Amino acid sequence: MRQLILEENTRVQQVLDAMPDGVLIVDGGGRIVFANAHAEALFGCSASDLIGQFIELLVPEAFRAVHERHRNTYAAAPATRPMGSGVELHARRRDGSTFPVDISLSPVEAEQGTVVVAVVRDATERTRMLTLVRQSEELYRMVVEKASEVFYRVSIGDDPMRGRVEFVSPQCETLTGHAPEAFLNNPHLWIDSIHPDDYDLLMETTKSVLSTGTGQTRYYRIRDRSGQYHRMADRIVPWSDRKGRVGYQGVARDITERVEANEARQRLERELAQAQKMEAVGRLAGGIAHDFNNLLTIILGYCDMLLPRLDAADPSRPEVEEIAEAGRCAANLTQQLLGFSRRQIVEPKILNLNTQLLMTQDMLRRLIGEDVTFTVDLQAGLWPTRLDPSQLTQVAMNLAANARDAMPTGGSLVLTTANAALDEVYCATRQGCVPGQYVELTVSDTGTGMDPDTLAHVFEPFFTTKPEGRGTGLGLATIYGIVKQNGGFINVHSDLGHGTRVSIYFPRYVGTGEPVAGELPESAPVDGTETVLLVEDNDQLRRLTQKALTNLGYTVLDAPGADVAYARCREHRGPIHLLLTDVVMPLANGVEVAAHVTAQRPGIRVVFMSGFAAHVIADRGALPAHARYLQKPFNLDKLAAAVREALDAAPPDA
């Protein structure tokens, strides 16, 4: 019998030793009567060292007194239950170190009375994992609460767009003006705030995510509480839980500023490309106009020579007069081309725009007609600017004419001026704008307006939406060239069916500039006997000019370019009274020729003739101060007047 008992005890010992947890048996007095092998490993001491010891040996010293009281309480009403439910328990090893444990207690009746079987499990790994989970949850909560994005989760039924909002982060209130509770209590609030135009695509993307199980990004606009729409990028993925609920969760980001910045960048790129295109077209137009002006000067010049020889009854006279009139019309057209290409020779003056516009007010009223209400609103104390008065008149007339044509059945035209201080923020989104102080001229109409495609081409020469024969397409192109020539920029805002507003900005003038000499008045031909050095690279034009001056009695030394001119200047033994030179020529331009000749012949008068100034001058838009010029195309009366006036003027050094 004893042998059977020993064998049974051995089997029990083996079973208990095989358990993965420590097993301790404690008698009614609190002493340990058994410890399995895992308990030995767990506490770092042998069973023989544990047996007979109070269980408090394995309790951290700080908790021993409390543990003993709880043990006595348990002994009075023993039951199978976890020890310290809801409390984090720690045990003490032989070396004094402590570690977290889970303990379950079971009372067992034995020969010596009631004993307690305590199963002890090392909770170090579980506690570590719980700590990591808590840290992860805390990190997630911090990210969700502090991030600028909106985190949310939606469970759905049959309709993926009408789900229930299970969670939404606090940032939803910053974005929409609605607190999280509003979305939780009203599951339709989020979807009902979506822009109607974006709803179908949003639904399609959501269904795709749910059917494929693949995350996607949704782009849409959402309305906040004030009615303003925000552009959103919303990354969503499907989700499900143990309760069988399914839906999607996502992170929504407000990308309004990024989208607007990108749109502004694209707009500036388009404007830059357009400006470069306009510059290239302007160079071409300027070159064509310059060459064409030479031809027109020849045509008009020979007409002037022919007409005095033809009496009124000559059948050829009307034909020659028609040729001359056609030449003058063509000359006006080339002037517009030169204005667009910024190659006009100009006479800039310090102006008050208000004064100049008041002088043209009556002319503008007659131009726009009686069926258009014309209002002028000029700001008092307007800053001065510096430009050619004739250019300002040309700008105002072209703007008024365009506005009139856009209102065939009548309307309203408003002309305003204002001081404008433009900062970097304003200029950052406007091509050609440089921060500074400007004088603003705005013309607004209530006409037909323009669509974006038309608006993109308004400054291109010969582009027009008017019926054939009603316009040249050079009006706004000319304005563009004038504004750029004077260091300004131009904004055009137009909506189809809602009119157009053109705002022009001329730089404020703060210096003390000197006016440039104006165009010479037309007068009758005046004879002379002086010697003129004529420099012109166009052979036909040079022959015409030489013949005209010779007919007036002048001695003409002609030269096709700088080298021959310098030779004529050196070799001529008599005085040379006047240099008449073209501006744009190969090798050396007219300004350089004038500098060389005046160095050899001090006191010589100089008259420049050109369709536009050479690049050394045109970059500034004007000839040197007090320079005399003869604008091509010219007639013989203007040629004679220009030469005679220059010769009769005081010497340059007088």
Task: Tell me the per-residue pLDDT of 116-127, one tens digit each, with 9 for 90 and over.
Answer: 999 999 988 888
Contact call for residues 590 and 608 (beta carbons, < 8 A): yes
pLDDT band for 375, please (50, 70, 90 cuts).
Answer: very high
Average pLDDT value for residue range 557-569? 95
Give percent of the chain with pLDDT exceeding 70. Answer: 82
Contact call for residues 48 and 128 (beta carbons, < 8 A): no
Contact call for residues 93 and 122 (beta carbons, < 8 A): no
Considering just the CA atoms, what is the radius of gyration of the chain in Å? 48
Question: Does the structure show a pLDDT above 80 at 137?
Answer: no
Number of Cβ within 10 Å of residue 521's Cβ equals: 9
pLDDT band for 323, please (50, 70, 90 cuts).
Answer: confident
Question: Does the structure show a pLDDT above 60 at 5?
Answer: no
Of residues 105 and 346, more confidently modeled: 105
pLDDT band for 7, please (50, 70, 90 cuts).
Answer: low
CATH topology for 531-648 is: Rossmann fold (3.40.50)
Task: Tell me the per-residue pLDDT of 239-298, one tens digit each, with 9 for 90 and over.
Answer: 888 887 888 888 888 998 888 888 877 777 766 666 666 566 556 566 666 677 777 888
| Per-residue buried b or exposed e for 123-158, using 16+ beta carbons within 10 Å of the residue's own CB | beeebeeeeeeeeeeeeeeeebeeeebbbbbbbbee
What pLDDT score does 477 carry? 75
pLDDT band for 643, please (50, 70, 90 cuts).
Answer: very high
Joined together, the tokens standing for residue 446 give: 């209530």
Task: Tell me the per-residue pLDDT of 620-633, one tens digit each, with 9 for 90 and over.
Answer: 444 565 678 888 88
Is-same-fold flag (2-127; 147-254)? yes
| Exposure of 538 in the CB half-sphere (CA atoms within 13 A) | 21
What pLDDT score does 618 carry? 45
Question: Does the structure show a pLDDT above 70 at 576?
Answer: yes
Superfamily of chain region 147-254: PAS domain (3.30.450.20)
The CATH-assigned architecture of domain 349-507 is 2-Layer Sandwich (3.30)
pLDDT band for 337, please (50, 70, 90 cuts).
Answer: low
State the virtual CA torsion across 644, 647, 648, 652 in degrees, nearest 10.
Answer: 140
pLDDT band for 654, please (50, 70, 90 cuts).
Answer: very low
Q: Write down the domain spans for the chain.
A: 2-127, 147-254, 349-507, 531-648
Joined together, the tokens standing for residue 76 give: 């009075």
Average pLDDT value for residue range 184-192? 83
pLDDT band for 72, please (50, 70, 90 cuts).
Answer: confident
Task: Tell me the per-residue pLDDT of 415-463, one tens digit each, with 9 for 90 and over.
Answer: 999 999 999 888 887 777 889 999 999 999 999 888 887 777 677 765 5
This prediction has a pTM of 0.39
β-bridge pairing 229-240 and 411-422: unpaired
Give percent of the chain with pLDDT exceeding 90. Answer: 30
Token pair 């960048």 is at which residue? 265
Question: Does the structure show a pLDDT above 90 at 413?
Answer: yes
Joined together, the tokens standing for residue 460 give: 């291109």
What pLDDT score does 522 carry? 46
Task: Tell me the per-residue pLDDT of 520-562, one tens digit each, with 9 for 90 and over.
Answer: 444 444 678 999 999 999 898 899 899 999 999 999 999 999 9
Task: Tell me the per-residue pLDDT of 484-513, one tens digit each, with 9 for 90 and over.
Answer: 888 898 888 988 888 999 999 999 998 765
Average pLDDT value for residue range 515-519? 36
Superfamily of chain region 2-127: PAS domain (3.30.450.20)
Collapsed DSSP state (helix, strand, coil) of residue 651: coil
Q: How far is CA 63 from CA 60, 68, 385, 460, in A?
A: 6, 9, 91, 92
